[in-house]
Amino acid sequence: MKTNDLIIQTTTKVVFYIIFLFSIHIFFAGHYTPGGGFVGGLLMSSAIVLLLLAFDLKTVQAMLPVNYTVVTAIGLLIALATASGSIFFNVPFFTHAFDYYNLPLLGKTSIHTAMFFDTGVYLVVVGVTMTIIQMIGGDE
């Protein structure tokens, strides 16, 4: 039976970007306000799950041709690389550093290596959640 799901599909097209932007916001705000890589990653995967609900698995895979196992692995590598950077400076593992930079659009911004670690967490959460959902949802 083919149902007409025009409304949910149209809404999803709009809402997806709002959730996506919110997840990015939560991710960057994590250092000073509640949020961070884990919640941000979950929000991002919930946006993709919304796509999965509105469209079917094949369409979404065509939209986002991503292998989520690889996403997980990249996330782990980023987290490990950030933490291991300290090894090269001969300080204890996981020692973070930060400094202020003048970025083109944002102006004076503090960049902390903990953020790169959080990027790893973000990617791992997205990768793992989406792998689980696609594995259970996909029936091939």
Shortest Cβ distance from residue 97 to other proteins (Å)? Answer: 10
Shortest Cβ distance from residue 80 to other proteins (Å)? Answer: 6
User: Smaller CB distance to other proteins: residue 51 or 114?
Assistant: 114
The answer for 90, left when phi > 0, alpha when psi is -120 to 50, beta otherwise, is left
**CA-only gyration radius of the chain, Å:** 18
| Binding positions for other proteins, 45-74, rule CB under 8 A | 69-70, 72-73
Rounded Cα gap, residues 109 and 83, in angstroms = 21
| Binding positions for other proteins, 82-101, rule CB under 8 A | 84, 86-87, 90-96
109 contacts 81 by C-beta, under 8 angstroms? no
User: Smaller CB distance to other proteins: residue 23 or 72?
Assistant: 72
User: Smaller CB distance to other proteins: residue 35 or 120?
Assistant: 120
Element spanning 10, H or E: helix 6-29
Shortest Cβ distance from residue 95 to other proteins (Å)? Answer: 4
Which residues lie below 8 Å from residue 52, measured CB to CB, with a gap of 6+?
A: 60, 133, 137
Mark out the alpha helices in 30-139 (DSSP H runs).
Answer: 37-54, 57-63, 68-88, 113-137
User: Smaller CB distance to other proteins: residue 42 or 128?
Assistant: 128
What residues make contact with other proteins under the rule CB under 8 A?
A: 69-70, 72-73, 76-77, 80, 84, 86-87, 90-96
